[in-house]
Every structure is written in C-alpha cells, then in structure tokens.
Structure 1
C-alpha cells in the first residue's frame, strides 16, 4: 500500500463530475421523449411505452430516477467501486474489491466491442438518467452528475450481492494491509446479513391448477426497497412486468405475456480459490504453475476516499495470477480467486430473456451462460414449468475437493471451459405437477421427481437443504386446484419447521433441570402447547424466536471453523453442542430481556414484530414512538416461507423489518395474464406521497393487489399519463 495524497473536495467535484449537457444532447432527448408515454396507475406503478426497445428503456430509467434517484445513483457508486468517495474510509476495501474485478477502463473497452443493438440500449440507459437530471435541476447527485453508456456493464446481473459479495472484505483488508490473519470466520459471519437473504419460487403445472393454466410464485427475499415494480412495452416485442433493480434496464424477476421467471440465490459452485506458491525475485513476485515460475501481474489501483472536507487517495499494489486476483493469504500461500467476469454476456442474457416467448426461447437465452448467481424457476403459457440450478458452470477435474482452496500450482486444477446448459442440473415438467426452490438443494425441487444427484458432479449443486425447502415440499406435495389466491395462501403458510427439532430439546432440558421456578415452568408450558405456527397473538412465537436467536449466536461462536453451519446443521449443533444448563440459561435470559423491555415476558409476537417506514432513505431509521404495523410472518431461517427479517435498532425495543418479502407476485399464464402483487410500503420513496405507505397494511397482512397488465386496465383510473420531462 502506497502513501496517500490529499486534495480538496471542491477541486475534485468541479472537474471530473460536473460536465454540463450540450444543446444537441438536450434537443435529442426532448425529441426522443415525444415518443414515450408513461402511465402511472392507481398504485403509481409506472407503465412505460415506446416505439423501440431503446425508447422503452429511456423511459424506464427516467421513471426509476423519478421514484428514487438516490438508490439508482447509489447502486452505480457501489458497483464502480467509488463509495468511499462519498461515505469515507470505511468503504475503502469494499471499493478495492470491486476494482479488483472490473475498472472503468476495462468496461469502456468492453463497451466498444458491444454490437449495435446493445449500444442502443446502453445509450438509452444513459440518456434516460441524464434527461432526468436535466429536467430536475433541484436534484443534487452525491457523485454522478453524468451517466455514461458503459456503466450498466459494471452492474449486469441484478442480484442483490452479485458474485463478489462472496469475497470477505475483512480477508481482503487483512491481505492488502499486510495483516495476514486467518481467524476470520465468526467475524465474517457477524459482518454478513444478520438475516439470511434468498428467495422462494414455486411453479405449478396446468394439471394442478384450477384453470388448467400454469402458475408462478415470484417471492424474492431482499433488503426492503432494493427493487421497484415496473412495466415496460415497445413495438419491438418488449412487454414485461416485474421487479427491476434500481438503475438497470431489464426486469430482473417478472413475466411477459408468454412466460415468467423467478430467480433464487444459488449456492452452485461458480467460483474457486487457488493456493498460490509465491517466490520473490529481484523484488518481484512469481507463482508456481506446472513446474515453471510465472510472473504475478501487479496492478496499481488508486482509490479516493472522503475524510472530512477533503479527499485523500490511497494507492494499492494489487496482484493477479491467471486464476484471478489475489484476495488473501493462508499458511504462507496467497489465495487467488476465479469467478465469472463477463459483463456483456451477463447483461445481454438478462435483457434477452425478458423477451422470451416460452420455454424454448428462454432456454436458448440460457446459452449465454452469463448468470452466475441465480437459480431459475419458470412457467409459461404453453403449460411448461421448468427449473435450472445455476447457469454459468465451469468444468473441473472431479478428483479435487472443490469446496476447499485447491493447489494453484497444479495445472489439473485449472478450469476446462464451461459446461453447456444441457449438462447442468435442471427440471422440465416433473410428474409431480409442481416444482420449487427456496435457495435449497435442487435434489428435492420436485420430491421424488427431482434430479438425480448421481448424474451430476458434486460441485454443481453443493447447496444444503434448508427449512424453507422442507416447508415448500410439505405444502406443495399433496395440493391441487391452485388459483392465484390459493398460491398466495400457500406462500404464507405459517408453519416454522426449524423449531420442530429444537423446542423439544429445550423442553427435555427443562424436564431434567433441578432448579425450576414458577416463571420458568409457565413459559415452558407455553412452548409445550405450541403448534409451531406463527401468529400475531402468539406468545410462543416470541419465546421461540428470541431463544432460537440466542442459541444460534451461542452455537456459531463455539463452532469449530471446519464444521458446517447451514440451517439444518446448526440445529444439530444447538441440540448436541449445548448442555441442558446452557439451553435453560439462554431461555432465562430471554425471559429477563422481555420483562425488562416490555414489563412481562408474556408478549404477543405482533406487539414486537413490526413494519415501519418513516423516511424513505436508503438507511431507514426506526422509532418505537411512531406508527408501525404488526407483522406475523418472520425469519426465513426457521422456515417461514414469507420472510420478514426484523431486529431491534438503537433506541428501540420493538423489532423492525428491513429484509425479506419485498416485491412478491403470483401469475397465471392463460390466454390473458392474470396476476397479483405486493411491495413493501408503496411505490414512492417520498414520505409526502400518498403512495409511500398505500400498500403497507396489505403487505403486513399478506394481501395482494391486482396487477394491471393491459392498457385498458392500467389506463382506467390512472393517476396520470405524461411524457418524460413533462
């Protein structure tokens, strides 16, 4: 790491990021806007129509900026590795992680090689954002005063974390600050999402539906407000509705009139760590590979970060082998990492699949193999239901253990190209008449009709089972006669199977306990009578949630590094690795905490578990003294299909949700699309808008609104229809 340099913020902001728009640009934007129509329906959902795909994308980005420019800009600041310029030094190594894989120079070069059709879309993206800034001079960007057409190539999949989120910032920081500690596991767990993010997807075949048409559940679990509900149409065949990640020009999870797709985060092995044997010669690093020494590529990365009223710069010497960038060190060996780094393919696939007319075209779009972070649950109007586990899948020598870092000096560990899509784990029209994925193993996706694990390399699907997957199979396996409403009811079934093994273990510990008291006995009896279902009135849900979380923290802290820590394994660890005394001790701490905070441990779940939206800012604040709504559904860790990850915040005793169900939809693919959806709070991020909280009560109760897909539907009772800039 090199010394830093200090410059004034004024100097930086007045140079690179204060470009004005030319008269010719403005005239071109105004002319294009004349052919774009935006209709805001009664829920304020934007329906954007244009003659060409590029027109629709121009309008799509314009309305995203209208609804939440702050989040659009934030995503690009993050993905360009520039967050430390606006947030300070704490984000320096997050930015370094981004820059190790993609920098603006490389992305600009990729942009130059893009075909004409893609360049039109990329320019439409930039033009839509810039026209918004031109027509809204009161909006003051934190950093990006001009959007460029190459920017979407730095943010191409739309997943909440993307591939690089698998790389620990702490490990990266330790290596590049020469602090080569490897004791990072528990600390890394603490840094990650405290609530597991993921998603649920269900596909129902015609034989299991009441109408004889296929149905699809789209249920991503993300941080709240990470995506927006939107509809775009063009005369070039674009007609797609669903959830768009702020700042992107494709619907990430959604449907068109022919088919729909739901992405769930995948644990398919799409990246590998390599142990590199390093030798230094004349002050330069080399690594062993195939009996020879190869030079380590050294690249200088300069990062600016905000420090008070000044910008400081740090310069890093970063290291790359042919496997990829070096991210850490262990036992004297450097660790490099290989992962998908093909932004054009990822972006092309993400857009083209939205125009698929059915299974065959969607499967053809998968041939781009640019989806490295997601599984896909699919249904179409021809009655097909399908599942793909991952997409980008490197070929590897099966004699190595790919769940651990492999020897980078052995050429046999190098990737041997990619598996074609037909070789990956997938399902088409299983005999069950349904399929599901809840970030769980694909080998239970359709019960007995699931893929056979013996037919695939172990690295294709190392995903463990989880309690949502178990729960999904239970509710789907014997059900039939699905309608949209029945599919919603199924997606909110209140059982919590994750507690079924551990509550009996707690009760057994109590029965063996000698120091009983009336309070403890009464509380345990509440759990004895519990049916493992959440509800607003349930005191047992409160006790179970608080105790379960304490046991997870206790277990993770005491768990050896090489032990599995997936949900089902953690259950076994809770049961077997904690004594009866420890189980009771943690339960007594729960009773103490509830009594301290609420005056009694006898507190209904709905009194504690709340939805609240106050500011619309990216970092929302919460306040026990301000209005909030009770929510029954809860943490996905315990198998709640409808996910609501909540916790306390500074100054609060109640728990407020910020991750889980976000945009949720159910779709029926008949001659005409029928669909229902719900989002957290409402479409607008402006607290003064009537659409800031107009969906909040429905969201908290698991009730949905009708999707207005056809012009005659969304134009009736529309809030307003206008052109961009008007």
Structure 2
C-alpha cells in the first residue's frame, strides 16, 4: 500500500511521532493542586481522574504531543497544553468569537462585539450544545474542563474576562480559518447604521502589514520518487496565529498539524492515512440583500414579493470595561428572513445571509482528522460547512483531490451575485445548497499534481483543470495570481519529486509577478507627477530604474533589486487598489497594464525613499529585510 508522506511548513519543520516522555513530559495528575473555593470537590475529582489518563510530551522544539485513552481525554490535554503555551490568545479568540472584547478592551470594541452578537447568541448555543450528539458533547465538555483545570492549577494566571469556560462556548468558534464569514461585515458601516453620536468610535485593528494567502500542493505517486503521495501544507498566517501539535488517543485519533488557539481539532495537517490543506476561498458563500423598508406605527417592515413582512426587532446588551468598572449599552437591532441588517445604501437597508451551522461545522472539522480513506474524507465534505476554504487533499492510498469551497448556495445564475441583490425579489433567494458532486472538484487528475494558491480553480491541474464553462460563475470568483502561475511552472514535468525537492520547488526564488510589472516601468515614456520625462528623468530616478533593468526576477539574500522591486510593487498596489476594484480588474493586471507612468514612477520614488528612511539606503540586500528577528 502507498503511504502518505506529509510535509508541514510552519515556523519549523517537525517530526510527526510522539517524543519520548523524558523530553519535558508532564503527567497532569501529578501537578500540585492549589486550593480554590470556586471548584467543587466533585468537579476537581473529575478533572484529576481525566488528567490521569493524559500525557503531554514536548519534543525538542517544544511542540506538544498529547496522548489520551479516549478522544475526550486528548481534547482535555490539548486545551491544557495550548493554555500552557498561550492562554491569552485562547481567551482573546473566544472573547472575539462571542462578542465580548469590549469587556476587556473597553468601549472602542463595542461594534466589533455587536457584529458578532448579530449572529452569535449564547442562549441559542446552549440549546445547540444540548442537541449535539453525545460524542460531540463529550469533546466539548473536555474542552471546557481542560481550560478550567489549567486555570485551577495556575492561580498566577488571571483571565481578562473568562474565569470559567463552558462547553457550549466551543460552538462559537467552529472554524479555524483567518477571519470567519462574520468578519466580512464592515465595522464602520455597521457603526454608521447602529451607532449614536455619543458612542466611541470603533477601534481600528492593528495591522501587521503582512501579505495573506496560502499554498497547497498535492503530488500523486506517479510523480514522486518513492511512489507515495506527497502533500505540501504552506499556510500564510501571522507568526503566532496557530499552535502546532500532535493529538493521539487509544480510540484511533492520531493527527498532527496546526490548531487555531482554543480549538480542539487539527485545522490543517495529517494523520497516518489522510492529509488536508485549506486555502482561503472566494467561492461565493455569502450574499447581501437590499431590503425596501416601510415604516409603520408598530415597527419596520420590508417588501418581499407581494408581502410586507415585519422586521424582527431585538435588543442586544453590550457590556464594556469603563475604567475599573463595567458599564453596558443596549442596541436595537433588526433581522429580515435573510439575516441581520448591517448597513444602509441609498435608503435601502442591507441584510446579509451566510452559513450558520455550528454543530455540523464542528462535526466536520473534527471528523476529518480521523478519516482513513478518501471515501471517509468525502463523507465529511458532504456536511458542507467549510464555508471559507478550499481543500487540497492526499492520502496513503495514493489519491489526491481538490475541493473549491464547500458551502455554496444554489442560485439563479441570471443575477450578478457579486453585488447586493434586490431583497424584494423572491427569485434572488437561495435554492438550497449545491451537493459536493456539483462543486468544482478534482480527483486524481492525469497530470498527477494539484495546486491552489488562493487562485482560480481553473488552473489547479494545468490542462487537466476543471473548465469554467461547466460551472456557474458564482462558484469561482478567484482570479489567477502570480503564485498560481509559478506553482504550475515548478510542478509541470516533474516525475520524481522527493520531500526535499518539493520543498525546493515551493521555495523556488522566481517572482513571476515582476515579469509583467518591470518591463512597462523600464519603457516608461510619459511624464510623471513631478514633470519628469524620459529625456529629463532625474539621475536618482534613472538609478532606481537601472538597478532593475538587468534583474532576473529572482530573490536572494544579497539582492538589492528584490528589495526595491518588492517595496515598489507594494506601494503601487496600495496606490491603485481602489481604482482596480472600481474597474473590476484583477489588481496584478491593473498594475501591469492600467497604471500610468506617473503612478509607476511616483510609487518607485516613494519606495526608494521608504528604504532610505527605514534602512539608511535604497540599495538594501533583501536578506536584511526579510528575516526573523527576536523583538
């Protein structure tokens, strides 16, 4: 039988087998128990009994390998181990997921909380917990117990808000992607609609200014030197966005990979039989509706076909930290049958429809980690709740596959689903979901490789890719991107890939975007916004251009060309992003073909000045910029 050879490319490349217990092993039941009046004796006994069935071993990289007798035991130990590493991130994730950030950060986070509470209701989640199958309740119980036991055994840790975790809380955070669907709602426009003049403006989220995206490659046995399938998992997230760990139980759990802080499933990773990689998707899973509002004496109504339906009106309480005390405000919010009202456009109120199936989402997220075959993995995909991701897959039987999105409503293709729809027209309603066999998928393409880089699925396997004419347009809004073009180049024609050569392919230094960006810059003949012409360009500007003239578009630690080119392209992208979006043109195409000489040269000067300001010279080796630093 073929075996899956997985590659995990996180901050470090780590082995997938448990470390010996002599390496920082901790038996949880041997911990000294501090006294606590908030924990009942019965509860403490239960925690201690479960801890006795859990072992946490840390390898030389500090990665936790958690072993439990049952899956629930392993979940208990997983949350305990995550809390050991970074309890603060766990708490922040749940404060955000439940709309409680303002209780820690103050009234500047009220509208972020309101956004979440338009969708997340604790009372509903408590009911859904009760309705969950027994096995899932057991895992959620262990999720809460593991965190509470950690807090009990670490009295020096003071939570900002959540002093006790409850099992139902896990359902508020059932998907591990970068920014869930709810975060698509614009906070400023939400505040404009629901805010009052005496409310503090929503705080801007600090940006690390890092590019986002992910790459996934799956290689069939026919193209690997070993005859085994290969899977490359290359997520692009902020440095500490997820932890890396290994979950093992005597009930068949044996998964390694990335876990978003506070969750109890391997978000992207592998077990001994299957591997899965998620890339952020643009398959259309969300729609907005323009609601025609009629105000009457007893409330607000909206038009739907020949009906006038009353908007659901409710009060949301938003507690917030005010100095050393707590205060709160009440906000009246509205829902149509499509979803909550989130803003106003030209007199019409806008509602939003998106996936809200936390039990099914949690079931899919966890069960995929225990699949043994493609058939089993496919069955998890049939739950259709992975709403924001594509999936690249490989297994030990030699299968490779690709799923573009997972939650895709069936719609009338005569409408433009990239814009808000007229809510009064019943024809704009969702017509159920597309089953998995109607989605854009690939299974064992003849070329023997699959790639996705957050790009179009219609280049995922070169000439063997799915064809756009076979699918409705709303299934694939992703354009091609330079990473996708590059991925096809490094994978085409390869027939003897090893783990090492696949890593080399992933790190091939060619920067394909500049093949289209640099030539127009070199041939600039118009004047820029400082009245420089091709004849009268300043010596400095000519020096910038000349540095790039003979560049081979490959990065290296010594390359000054890479530094100038990257800073220039990022500046140009920032300058024209709105124009490209307004023109509905792919940003890379717009930068190469639609920007003026003034824009190109202006961005080049700003890039050089930024390098001068930040590094003392505009000719800085790339290795001095793109490097790990301990801050």
TM-score, normalization: structure 2?
A: 0.90
Residue 376 of structure 2, aligned match among 361, 365, 370: 361
Alignment check: 8 A CA contact 2:580 2:590 kept: no
Counterpart Cα distance in 2 of 1:19 and 1:319: 42
- Does residue 351 in structure 1 map to residue 366 in structure 2? yes
Q: Which residue does 2:556 correspond to in 1?
A: 535
Does residue 1:322 correspond to 2:337, yes or no?
yes
Aligned equivalent of 1:270, options 285, 288, 304:
285
Residue equivalent to 2:5 = none
Cross-structure match for 2:150: 132
Query: Equivalences for 1:427-466 in 2 at 5 Å?
Result: 427-466=442-481
Unaligned segments of structure 1, at least 5 residues: 1-17, 180-186, 615-726
Partner of 1:633: none
Asked if the contact 2:573–2:587 (Cα under 8 Å) also holds between the matched residues in 1, the reply is no
Partner of 2:137: 119
Q: Deviations over 1:531-585 (max 9, x none)?
A: 111111111111111211221222135x17632264334324xx4232x244223
1:610 corresponding residue in structure 2: 627
Determine if the alignment matches structure 1 residue 78 to structure 2 residue 99: no
Alignment of 1:25-104 (within 5 A): 25-104=43-122
Tell me, yes or no, if the aligned pair for 2:581 and 2:587 is still in contact at 8 Å.
no
CA distance in 2, matches of 1:584, 1:190: 31
- Kindly indicate whether residue 490 of structure 2 is the aligned counterpart of residue 469 of structure 1: no
**Contact 1:510–1:584 (CA under 8 A) maintained in structure 2:** no
Pair 393,599 (structure 1): closer, same or farther in 2 beyond 3 Å: closer
Cα 1:503–1:78 change in 2 (3 A) is same
Q: How does 1:546-695 map to 2 (within 5 A)?
A: 546-556=567-577, 559=579, 562-564=582-584, 566-572=586-592, 575-578=593-596, 580-614=597-631
Change (3 A) 1:401 1:192: farther
* Partners of 2:611 and 2:208 in 1: CA distance: 24
* Mapped pair 1:224 → 2:224: no
Contact 2:313-2:333 within 8 A present in 1 as well: yes
Give the aligned partner of residue 9 of structure 2. Answer: none
Q: Which has the higher contact order (CA 8 A, sep 6+)?
A: 1
> In 2 relative to 1, CA 367–221 (structure 1 residues): closer, same or farther, beyond 3 Å?
same
Match of 1:162 in 2: 180
1:501 to 493, 497, 516: 516
130-139 vs 603-612, greater mean Cα deviation? 603-612
Shift of 1:602: 2.0
- C-alpha deviations, 1:508-529, integer Å up to 9, x for none? 1169612234333333221011
CA distance 1:452–1:354, shift in 2 (3 Å): same
Q: CA deviation at 1:133?
A: 0.7
Q: Do 1:203 and 1:377's aligned partners in 2 also have CA atoms closer than 8 Å?
A: yes
Alpha-carbon distance in structure 2 between the residues aligned to 1:436 and 1:223: 22
Q: CA deviation at 1:491?
A: 1.0
Question: Shift of the alpha carbon at 1:307?
Answer: 2.5
Hey, what's the Cα distance between the residues in 2 that align with 1:561 and 1:385? 35
Of 370, 390, 395 in structure 2, the residue corresponding to residue 380 of structure 1 is 395
Q: Distance in 2 between matches of 1:598 and 1:415?
A: 53
Match of 1:205 among 220, 230, 233: 220
* Aligned residue among 108, 112, 120 for 2:126: 108
Equivalent position SS for 1:500 = helix
Deviation track 1:271-324 (CA, whole Å, cap 9, x = no partner) reads 100010000110510001121100100111110122322322121111100000
3-state SS in 1 of match to 2:118:
helix
Q: Do the aligned residues in 1 keep the contact of 2:577 with 2:587 (CA within 8 Å)?
A: no
Residue 66 of structure 1 and its aligned partner are, at CA, apart by 0.8
1:239 aligns with one of 230, 236, 254: 254
**CA–CA distance in structure 2, aligned partners of residues 596 and 290 of structure 1:** 60
Cα pair distance change 1:493/1:298, threshold 3 Å: same
Q: CA deviation digits over 1:647-691, x for unaligned, max 9?
A: xxxxxxxxxxxxxxxxxxxxxxxxxxxxxxxxxxxxxxxxxxxxx
Structure 1 Cα separation of the partners of residues 149 and 454 of structure 2: 39
Q: Secondary structure at the match of 1:243?
A: strand
Structure 2 residue matching 1:37: 3-state secondary structure: strand
- Deviation at 1:19? 8.4
Secondary structure at the aligned position of 1:317 is classed as strand
Cα pair 1:199 1:219 within 8 Å, conserved: yes
Could you say which residue in structure 1 is the equivalent of 2:406? 391
Equivalent in the alignment of 1:144: 162
Q: Per the alignment, in what secondary structure is the counterpart of residue 164 of structure 1?
A: helix
Tell me which residue corresponds to 1:20: 38
Tell me: CA distance 1:478–1:543, structure 2 relative to 1, closer, same or farther (3 Å): same
Listed as ranges, the matches of 1:514-533 within 5 Å are 514-533=535-554
Deviations 1:249-275 (A, max 9, x none): 100000000010000010000010001
Matches within 5 A, 1:414-433: 414-433=429-448
Length, aligned pairs only: 586
Provide the secondary structure at the position in 2 that maps to 1:537: coil
Q: 1:407 aligns with which of 422, 430, 439?
A: 422
Contact in 2 for aligned 1:552/1:570 (Cα 8 Å): no
Q: 2:66 and 2:206 mapped to 1: Cα distance?
A: 39
Q: Secondary structure at 2:94's aligned position in 1?
A: helix
Give structure 2 stretches of 5+ with no counterpart: 1-35, 527-532
- Post-superposition offset of 1:329: 0.9
- Using the TM superposition, name which of 85-94 and 591-600 deviates more: 591-600
Residue pair 1:513, 1:581 contacting (<8 A) in 2 also? no
Distance 2:120 2:231 in 1: 35
* Distance of aligned partners of 1:267 and 1:39 in 2 relative to their CA distance in 1, 3 Å threshold: same
Inter-partner Cα distance in structure 1 for 2:277 and 2:293: 44
Deviation at 1:590, TM superposition (A): 3.0
Q: For 2:396 and 2:162, how far apart are their aligned partners in 1? A: 42
Measure, in 2, the Cα distance between the counterparts of 1:328 and 1:494.
Answer: 44
Cα distance 1:278–1:188, how it changes in 2: closer, same or farther (>3 A)?
A: farther
Alpha-carbon displacement from aligned partner over 1:34-53 (angstroms, at most 9, x marks no partner):
11111111222111111111
Contact residue 275 and residue 408 of structure 1 kept, 8 A: yes
CA contact (8 A) 2:213 2:236 kept: yes
Evaluate the alpha carbon distance shift between residue 191 and residue 76 of structure 1 in structure 2; reply closer, same or farther with a 3 A threshold: closer
**Change in 2 beyond 3 A, CA 1:490/1:561:** closer
Give the SS at the match of 1:316.
strand
SS in 2 for 1:29: helix
CA distance in 2, matches of 1:152, 1:130: 13
Between the aligned partners of 1:583 and 1:388, the Cα distance in structure 2 is 38
Describe the shift of the 1:529–1:258 C-alpha distance in structure 2 as closer, same or farther (beyond 3 A): same
Q: What pairs with 1:704-723 in structure 2 (closer than 5 Å)?
A: none
Residues in 2 aligned to 1:281 and 1:358: alpha-carbon distance in whole angstroms: 58
